[in-house]
Copies of this chain bind each other. A is one copy, B any other.
Amino acid sequence: MRDILDAVAAGDLSPADAEVQLRGYATTDNGRFDAAREQRRGVPEAILGEGKTPAEISDLAATAVETTGRAIVTRTDEDDVTALHDRFDGEDVSVDHDHRAKTVVVHEEGYEGPTLAATVGIVTGGTSDAAVAGEAAVIAREMGATVEFVEDVGVAHLGRVLDHLDTLRESDVLIVAAGREGALPTVVAGLVDTPVIGLPVPTGYGAGGEGRAALDGMLQSCTIISVVNIGAGFVAGAQAGLVARAVDGARDA
């Protein structure tokens, strides 16, 4: 901080520029700060569809496209998707609806997102994991990572896990989604030397249901994994994206 202030005193830096730099160090006004943060962290802002009307979602998406060239909408239902298609009808944008992940991604024509020389592997145990894992995939891709899916492998089907070991080992970071007893991340982490992020899926009933047994089991894992909250596909995808960025940065250097 002293350097900046010395420069101001010396007349080498205008007060206005100093303010920008100092605020960049800690504070800024709302709009610009968010932009700085998104640019710096590389974690895109997403519009959570849940709890919003199709009209609200469309407006937010339009603003996002205008501002950043891209909109990511998560947890959409059919009405949301229709509204988004209607809104961007006739405009120079691509509207991609991932049915299983319940996400819609809008890209302005010519939009060039980040590209990372790193792969995020996403492993799921079954179809009930698809929505949460898909959300993770969309975020990781939008952060620039290559995403490889290994699906329908489960602890009750060890063979399927073993068949995909090469793919698992070639990823730079793995997201392993699992509901019910949530043992899959433990099994996978025992077989690879890749960092594994456990993603509990809100399935299951009775004691430990709605993903609680899965979360607790991952926290208790006898292997090395870190975890995110139940159903937090966005967080898992973005954390994997941050690891991919670190790896990409090292590859660049």
Q: Residues of A with Cβ closer than 8 Å to B?
A: 1-2, 5-6, 8-9, 11, 14-16, 18-19, 22-23, 25-30, 33-34, 37, 40-43, 118, 125, 152, 154-163, 165, 172-173, 180-183, 186-187, 189-195, 197, 200, 202, 204-209, 211-232, 235-236, 238-239, 242-243, 245-251, 253
Contacts and interface: CB of A to CB of B under 8 A. Distances in A.
Given A158-B27, A246-B172, A181 B15 contact: no
A43 to B, nearest CB: 6
Given A157-B34, A193-B42, A226-B227, A217 B217 contact: yes
Contacts of A190: 37, 154-158
A158 B181 contact: no
11 contacts: A5-B5, A9-B14, A33-B159, A37-B190, A181-B218, A183-B187, A207-B207, A208-B220, A208-B229, A217-B217, A227-B227
Contact of A183 (B15, B183, B211): B183
A143 to B, nearest CB: 10
B181 A221 contact: yes
Given A217-B217, A246-B173, A25 B162 contact: yes
Contacts of A37: 157, 190
Nearest to A182: B217
Nearest to A217: B181
A23 B159 contact: yes
Contacts of A212: 207, 216
Contact of A9 (B11, B25, B27, B161): B11
A155 B187 contact: yes
A186 B156 contact: yes
B219 A162 contact: no
A239 B183 contact: no
Q: What 5 pairs between A and B have smallest CB-CB spacing?
A: A27-B159, A208-B216, A206-B230, A183-B183, A156-B190
